[in-house]
Structure 1
Amino acid sequence: MQLEGKTAFVTGGSRGIGAAIAVRLAAEGADIALTYVAGADAAAGIVGRIEALGRKAFAFQADSADARSVRTAVDAAAAALGKLDVVVHNAGVFSAGPIEEITAEEIDRVLAIHVRAVLVGTQAALPHMPDGGRIISIGSNLADRVARPGLTLYSASKAALDGLTRGLARDLGSRGITAVLVQPGSTDTDMNPASSPHADDQRALSALGHYGAAEDIAATVAHLAGPGGRHISGTTITIDGGQNA
C-alpha cells in the first residue's frame, strides 16, 4: 500500500494498459480518476474493480484530441479527488500507413492526442498537484526504433514525448515533481493482441520472444508513482522485452 492516501488521474483508463495502470495504482492504495472516450461501460467496469479494492474511483468522458475536454476532465478529477498526486498520460491512438496518404487532419489528430494533451493536461494538473507529485507519460518503443515502414507519424508523435518529459523535469524539479516517460513494446491488448496476424513478426523482434502484458507496464508505473520513484526524473524507461536491444 505504498500509495495509501494518494490520488491518481489516468487518461485512457477504461481498457488496455490504462486500465491495468488504474487498477494497479488502486491496489497500491490510491484513489483513482480515469478518462474514456466512448467506452462508458468499460470505464464503469474499471471503476467497479477499483471500488472493490476499497478505493474511490471516478470516470469522466474526455477526448484527448480536444484541449478544452482535457482541461475540463483534469479539473473534474481534482474536484472529485481533492488533489492530484499522480498524473498518468496514457490515452493514445495507433496510426499507420503509407506516408503519401497521411492527411493534415490525421497529423493534427495524432499530435493533439499524443503531445498536446500531455502538455495541456499537465498544465491543468499543476495547480492541483502537491510538491513531490508524479507525471508519467506512456509512449512507445517505436519512438526509438521504427521497425517497419508506415509508422512515421506514430513514431514521430511518440518521440516528441522524450523532449517534453525532459523539459517538464527541468521546469518542475524545484517542486520535487518528477516527469518520466515509459515506453512499452508489443503488449497484449485489444489495440495490439498477441493473436493478431502481425504478432509473430513482433515476437521475432523480441529478445524474450513473447509479448508483454499490460500488468508489466502497470508495475513499473506503480514503482515510479511510489517512494521508489522520487529520484527518477527526466528519463525514459523502455519495457519491450528487448525488442530495441
Structure 2
Amino acid sequence: MKNVIITGTSRGIGYALALQFANAGHNVLAISRKMPQELLEHENITCLSADLAEGNTTPVSDFIKASWTHADVVIHNAGALVLKPFEQITADEFEYIYKVNVFGVAALNRAVLPFMQAGGHVVSISSMGGVQGTMKFAGLSAYSSSKGAVTIMSELLAEEYKEQGVSFNVLALGAVNTEMLQEAFPGYVAPLQAVQMADYIYNFALTGNTYFNGKVLQVSSSTP
C-alpha cells in the first residue's frame, strides 16, 4: 500500500488515476480546486483544495505530518492551457500558465520531498509538445514551453536527489480524449481514453522507477 499524491483530479486523467489507486487499496491525497463527489466519498481518498500555483502548500505538509508521516508517489498531473496566437497572449495569461504548470510543480516538490524516502517516485505529466524535436502546434507557445520547463526541472531533480533514492521521471503524453485536448484541438478525437492513459500512468508510477530515473518517456500513439 502506497501513499500517493495526485494533482488535477477534478476531471480526465487525474480523476481516473485517483480512483484507480484508491480502488487498489492505496491511500490517495487528491489535490484540485474542484472535488468530484465520487472522490469525496471514497474511503481511501482525502481531497484537498490548495492553490499550488500561488505556492500554498502548507495544507499538504500539515496533512502528511498528521496522517501519513511519509509519501511514496507524487503525480504532477494538474495543467493549464491557453490557445492563442503568441502576440495575443497577455503577460498575465502567460504567467498564469507557468504558475500552474511549472511553479506549482516546484512548490509541491518542495513541500513533499522532505517526507519522501528511498524508493519514492515523482512523475510529471508533460506533453509531446514540450519535448525537443517533436511536432509543435501554433497557439500553444505558453503551454508547450511550460511543459518543456517541467521536463528540465525533473531531469535536474533526478540528479540532485539520486543519493537519497528518490526518482524523477516525465511522461510526455500524446493525444488523449480529455477536456483539455478539446481546448487545444477542438473537434479532434484521440484514439486513447483518459482511463486507458491513467492505467498506464498507474503502473508506471508504481514500478517505473525500478528502470528509469531522470528520463522523459514519450507516451504517444498519435498527435493531432
The question of a shared fold, defined as TM-score above 0.5 by the shorter chain, is answered with: yes
Identity of aligned residues (%): 28
Distance 1:167 1:105, change over 3 A: same
Q: Name the Cα RMSD after superposition.
A: 2.1
Helix, strand or coil for the counterpart of 2:153? helix
Distance 1:183 1:199, change over 3 A: same
- Of 54, 58, 71, 1:66 maps to 54
Show the counterpart of 1:97. Answer: 84
Q: Distance in 1 between matches of 2:83 and 2:135?
A: 12
Q: Which structure 1 segments of 5+ residues have no match?
A: 201-209
Count of matched residue pairs: 220
Query: Runs ≥4 in structure 1, deviation > 6 angstroms?
Result: none
Helix, strand or coil for the counterpart of 1:183? strand
The CA deviation at 1:148 is 2.6
Equivalent positions of 1:85-234 (< 5 A) are 85-144=72-131, 145-193=134-182, 197-199=186-188, 210-234=190-214
Q: Is the 8 A contact 2:31 2:47 kept in 1?
A: yes
Q: Is the 8 A contact 2:18 2:45 kept in 1?
A: no
Show the counterpart of 1:236. Answer: 216
Q: Distance in 1 between matches of 2:112 and 2:150?
A: 17
Q: Distance in 2 between matches of 1:85 and 1:45?
A: 23
Question: TM-score, normalising length from structure 1?
Answer: 0.82
Show the counterpart of 1:13. Answer: 9
**Could you give the per-residue CA deviations for residues 116-137 of structure 1, whole angstroms, max 9, x where no partner exists?**
1111111110111122101011
AA aligned to 1:223 is N
Q: Distance in 2 between matches of 1:62 and 1:155?
A: 24
- Of 31, 45, 48, 2:27 maps to 31
Select the structure that is richer in strand. 2
Q: Is the 8 A contact 2:117 2:165 kept in 1?
A: no
Show the counterpart of 2:61. Answer: 75
Q: Distance in 1 between matches of 2:83 and 2:221?
A: 22
Q: Distance in 2 between matches of 1:198 and 1:35?
A: 29
The CA deviation at 1:193 is 4.7
Q: Which structure 2 segments of 5+ residues have no match?
A: none
Helix, strand or coil for the counterpart of 2:179? coil
The CA deviation at 1:228 is 4.9
Show the counterpart of 1:204. Answer: none
